[in-house]
Every structure is written in structure tokens, then in C-alpha cells.
């Protein structure tokens, strides 16, 4: 029996060495879980199964080689397809015969775009269709096809227009004073002969009012604002001019009013009906100066226009012709990129801005159906804000030239391949606060794109990035857990098979329930502790030598008996 006891000890020690050596050999194997050998002692028993109280053991046996599934350290890499599990779970592999499970996430792409291991087993998960992740577990695939372009069909523009911006010319708040040039914008003089036959100089002063293109007119005679009785030579008078661009028929006679043409002159602020009628009351100066009666009339045709101080004709290349503007990219049906420009021009002091839109530097296009020159954004489109700086809405028509009517903000002809398409633009959330002009622009179009790269997030979602700056969700990796990981059967290549002892796999999605989260660009290292394994080598060697000594001693004793005479 001594020989058998020693032999069992030698064999157990050899197995201990083998297990330890295997751990050491796989110290750098990704996802490897170290093994632990477990021993049982041996005793002879009677037929009834009860051993004697004086029984001598018969040696040792290896009862089990178990694996320890404690996590290994994470090693970060530059490969987005390298994955690790921070927490509980196993990656699910399809090797063609049965599913296996691994913690090693050093995955690759095969020639068909499937995510595979180094041995060719497919990694399983939930593929997506049109960005929607499915619910069936299948081989995870990364489509390498280019994505088709999408035309811009909607735009969102959230901007702030600085409330301290000024109309051009700016409203003059100061009281009129002919000796103060800051109280008026420009002047006009006229000679008039008084009742005494002497010539007097009448000067007309034009000071910008709160309304767009409208001026309050004052007059002096030889520098005097009032006559002998203290009454102003010219009563309250307003003059409204056409814009520098012109191009509008206000009175409906079929003739476009000229740029900077006088549209209205009268004793009160104008309204749309006044402009439509082209009401123009001549400027009349009357009174006595030093006892001499002075009377003068300036016909509307002789009134000096505001071209010397008016805003320049709108030009997207000239920042002086608008209050704020910016350009962004939009896309047509073929994925061609175009530059859309949006510009805002302050109109008077009533928190109103005219909005202008250009496409590739042009404000209009030729309508293929009518042949007419058509603006991308219809004329006289305005954006208004309330006194608190919040967006009130968009209108067509600018008082006092027109009656403002609410409209939906839409851009026509933005897609050169489909001029009939109308593209809405939403200004929701825009403001007019006393801070710098800023804007945030978003649109839903993009050009065609090639696959540039893929990555996984914490929830295991597989996201593709394309050369056109678009992203798409291609799927989600699957994970599995077991009732008893100790019951898993090693199948080689750092993988395990389910068994009766482990129970069936519970399949789920990362970062849900008890499943861990995914760490992309990282691998889980072996959980082998080399220091502990080297100590185990010493123990195994010691045990082997000791059992060998037992065998040697047993042999010596046996020889002694044989040599008896």
C-alpha cells in the first residue's frame, strides 16, 4: 500500500505542476481564467461503506480542476473592436456547432463584415435595421456599404440678435437742436424772399424717427426755429422714403417706386394706407421774423432724399448692409453641398428685422416651370420680438409700408434638383437679448458617405461613423450569464460551453440587470497572479520530492525484507 500512496502523491503533485504551469503559460492570454487544483484524500472502506477507526489512508486523488472567474485588469488598446466587460457576463460566440462563451474581446472583421474571433467564431448580438436594434440574437455584422445622401428637408435656426443693434441710420433720441449735428441726420436749404423783399435762408433738418426709413422734419429760418410768437415755422412733419433697393409697387399703378423715392410726407406718422396712396403734403414754412412775414413751400419733388445716410443695398458680401448674417451647408437630393446664408436687417425701433436668404451667394433662382426669377425667401419677410426679447413670430409686410401678416417661414427652391420642394425653417427659441449676435443651425441633410470607423459604447451599441460626419447604430452586442459559472466546461481558445451544472445561458444586453457594461478599446487581461503561481511551483516541487522520498523509503524497506536469510 505504501507504493500506491506514494504514487498517488507523485501523480497529484505532477497534476499540481501541470495546472500551475498552465496558469503561468497563459499569464498573457486575453480573457484567460486561472485554474485551481482541488485534492481529496483516499481511504479504503468496508462493504457497508464504513471505514475502520484505525484506517490508514491510501493516498490522494485530484477531485476537480476548477476555474476562478474573478475579473482581470483592463488593458487599453487603440483598436475600437477590442472589447472588455466591466462586470458580469460573457460574450456569446457561434462556432457553427454550438454556442460558446468568452471573456476575451479581441475581435476582428472577416471579409463579409461579420465580427469574429481569431479562430473564426462569430460574435453574436442584435443587429439593427434603419437604426432600430432588433430583438433576435444573431451574428453581429458591420455593413461596409456607403450610405446614400439625404436632401435637406428641414432646418432649425436658434439665434440671438443683439438688442443693442441699431437701425441704419439709427433712431435719434436727442431733442432737435440746429446747433447740435447729433440731433439730425442731414439737411436741405432753400432761399425765400420775405415780405420786405429780403432773402432768407430756410434750412430743413431730417432726424431719423422710430419707424424704418422715416424721418421727422424740422425747419429754421435764418437759424431760428420759431417765429416772433414762439410758434415753430414748421409744424410736426414726417417723411418716409423707399428703401435703397426699391423694387416695390406700393400704389398699385404697375410702376415700381424708385430707390429712396419719397413715399409719404405729412403731419403724422404714416400707416400702410398713407404709403399706398403716396400721400405727400408739401413742406410749408410760415410765420413772422422780426415783424416780417415769411412764407415758403417745398414741393415733394424737391425734397432731398435720404440716400446719403440710408443703409446700402443688401449685399451678403458687405457686412454694412445687414445687422447680422451667417452661412451654413445644406444638401440637395444627390448629396451635393450648397451654402445657405441667412441675414437679418434691423427695421426701426419696434424689435423687427427683415430676413434675407441666399443660396450659394444668390438671393433668387429661375423657376423651371415659369421661367421667373424667384427669391428663395419671399420679399418683405420679417421676424419680430416682444419687449422681453422673446420671439413673437414671422410676418410678411413691414409697417408702415405694409400690413404685417403672420406667415410660416419657408424657403423655396433650396434643392436645385427639385426646385418645387419647400423647406421649412424653424426659429423657435430665438431671442433678442443684449448680448452678442449668435446662432445655432441644424439641418437634416447630408452627402453620401463611406464607412470611416466603428466603436462600441457602454451599453454595447455598435455605432458607425462615416466620412460625411454622420453616425448610425448598427447593432448591439449580446451578453450571457449563468446560474453557476463553476459548471461551465472549458472548450479551448479561452471559451467555455454551457453544461447541466452551469444551467442554460441567460441572454441580455450590456448594462442591464446584473450584466456589466462594455468598455471599448480595451481587453481584459488574464487573472493569473504570477507571484502566487511561482510560490505554487515551489509547493508542487516540494510535494513531488517528498512523495518520491516516500517511494524511495518504501523501496528500501522492501529490499530489507527481501534480503532476510
Q: What is the pLDDT of residues 488-531, one digit of tens each?
A: 999 999 999 999 999 999 999 999 999 999 999 999 999 999 99
- Domains in the chain with CATH codes: 1-70+528-563 (no CATH), 73-147+450-525 (no CATH), 155-165+312-443 (2.60.98.20), 186-302 (no CATH)
Environment class of 90 (CB within 10 Å of its CB; exposed 0-12, middle 13-18, buried 19+) = buried
**What digits encode the pLDDT tens for the residues 439-482?**
999 999 999 999 999 999 999 999 999 998 889 999 999 999 99
pTM score of the predicted model = 0.75
| 526 contacts 31 by C-beta, under 8 angstroms | yes
Q: Is the dihedral of CA 48, 53, 54, 59 positive or negative?
A: positive
**What digits encode the pLDDT tens for the residues 213-251?**
999 999 999 999 999 999 999 999 999 999 999 989 999
H/E/C letters for each residue in 302-333? Answer: HCCCCCCCCCCCCCCCCHHHCCEEEEEEEECC
pLDDT at residue 546, rounded to an integer: 86
pLDDT at residue 51, rounded to an integer: 55
Q: Is the dihedral of CA 103, 109, 111, 112 positive or negative?
A: positive
Q: What's the chain's average pLDDT?
A: 92
Termini Cα distance of the chain = 24
Number of H helices, E strands in the chain: 3, 39
Amino acid at each position: 500500500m505504501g507504493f500506491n500512496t506514494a504514487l498517488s502523491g507523485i501523480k497529484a503533485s505532477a497534476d499540481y505542476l501541470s495546472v500551475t504551469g498552465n496558469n503561468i503559460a497563459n499569464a498573457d492570454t486575453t480573457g484567460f481564467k486561472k485554474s485551481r487544483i482541488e485534492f481529496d484524500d483516499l481511504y479504503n472502506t468496508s462493504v457497508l461503506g464504513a471505514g475502520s477507526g484505525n484506517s490508514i489512508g491510501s493516498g490522494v486523488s485530484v477531485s476537480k480542476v476548477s476555474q476562478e472567474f474573478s475579473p482581470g485588469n483592463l488593458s487599453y488598446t487603440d483598436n475600437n473592436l477590442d472589447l472588455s466587460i466591466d462586470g458580469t457576463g460573457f460574450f456569446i460566440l457561434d462556432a457553427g456547432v454550438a454556442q460558446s462563451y468568452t471573456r476575451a474581446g479581441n475581435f476582428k472583421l472577416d471579409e463579409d463584415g461579420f465580427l469574429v474571433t481569431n479562430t473564426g467564431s462569430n460574435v453574436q448580438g442584435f443587429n439593427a435595421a434603419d437604426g432600430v436594434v432588433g430583438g433576435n440574437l444573431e451574428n453581429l455584422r458591420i455593413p461596409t456599404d456607403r450610405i446614400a445622401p439625404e436632401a435637406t428637408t428641414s432646418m432649425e435656426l436658434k439665434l440671438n440678435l443683439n438688442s443693442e443693434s441699431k437701425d441704419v441710420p439709427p433712431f435719434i433720441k436727442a431733442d432737435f437742436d440746429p446747433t447740435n449735428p447729433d440731433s439730425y441726420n442731414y439737411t436741405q436749404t432753400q432761399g425765400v424772399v420775405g415780405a420786405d423783399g429780403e432773402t432768407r435762408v430756410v434750412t430743413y433738418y431730417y432726424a431719423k424717427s422710430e419707424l424704418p426709413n422715416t424721418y421727422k422734419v424740422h425747419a429754421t429760418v435764418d437759424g431760428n426755429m420759431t417765429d416772433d410768437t414762439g410758434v415753430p415755422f414748421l409744424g410736426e412733419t414726417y417723411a418716409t422714403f423707399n428703401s435703397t433697393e426699391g423694387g416695390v409697387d406700393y400704389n398699385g399703378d404697375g410702376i415700381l417706386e424708385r430707390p429712396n423715392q419719397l413715399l409719404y410726407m405729412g403731419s403724422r406718422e404714416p400707416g400702410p394706407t398713407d404709403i399706398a396712396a403716396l400721400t405727400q403734403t408739401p413742406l410749408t414754412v410760415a410765420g413772422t421774423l422780426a415783424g416780417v412775414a415769411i412764407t415758403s413751400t417745398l414741393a415733394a419733388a424737391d425734397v432731398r432724399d435720404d440716400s446719403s445716410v440710408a443703409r446700402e443695398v443688401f449685399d451678403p458680401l458687405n457686412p454694412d448692409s445687414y445687422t447680422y448674417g451667417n452661412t451654413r451647408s445644406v444638401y440637395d437630393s444627390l448629396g451635393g453641398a450648397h451654402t445657405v446664408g441667412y441675414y437679418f436687417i434691423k427695421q426701426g425701433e419696434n424689435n423687427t428685422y427683415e430676413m434675407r436668404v441666399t443660396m450659394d451667394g444668390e438671393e433668387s433662382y429661375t423657376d423651371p416651370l415659369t421661367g421667373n426669377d424667384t427669391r428663395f425667401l419671399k420679399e418683405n419677410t420679417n421676424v419680430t420680438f416682444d419687449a422681453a426679447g422673446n420671439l413673437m413670430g414671422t410676418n410678411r409686410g413691414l409697417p408702415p409700408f405694409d400690413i404685417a401678416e403672420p406667415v410660416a417661414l419657408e424657403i423655396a427652391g433650396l434643392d436645385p434638383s427639385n426646385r418645387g420642394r419647400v423647406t421649412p425653417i424653424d426659429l423657435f427659441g430665438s431671442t433678442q437679448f443684449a448680448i452678442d449676435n449668435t446662432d445655432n443651425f441644424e439641418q437634416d441633410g447630408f452627402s453620401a458617405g463611406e464607412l470611416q470607423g466603428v466603436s462600441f459604447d457602454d451599453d454595447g451599441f455598435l455605432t458607425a461613423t462615416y466620412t460625411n460626419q454622420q453616425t448610425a447604430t448598427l447593432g448591439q452586442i449580446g451578453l450571457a450569464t449563468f446560474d453557476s459559472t463553476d459548471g461551465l466546461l472549458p472548450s479551448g481558445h479561452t471559451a467555455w460551453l454551457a453544461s447541466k451544472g452551469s444551467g442554460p445561458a441567460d441572454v441580455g444586453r450590456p448594462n442591464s440587470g446584473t450584466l456589466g457594461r462594455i468598455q471599448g478599446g480595451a481587453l481584459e487581461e488574464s487573472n493569473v497572479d504570477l507571484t502566487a503561481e511561482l510560490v505554487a511551483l515551489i509547493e508542487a516541487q516540494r510535494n513531488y520530492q517528498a512523495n518520491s522520498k516516500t517511494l524511495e523509503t518504501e523501496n528500501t524497506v522492501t529490499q530489507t525484507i527481501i534480503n532476510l536469510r
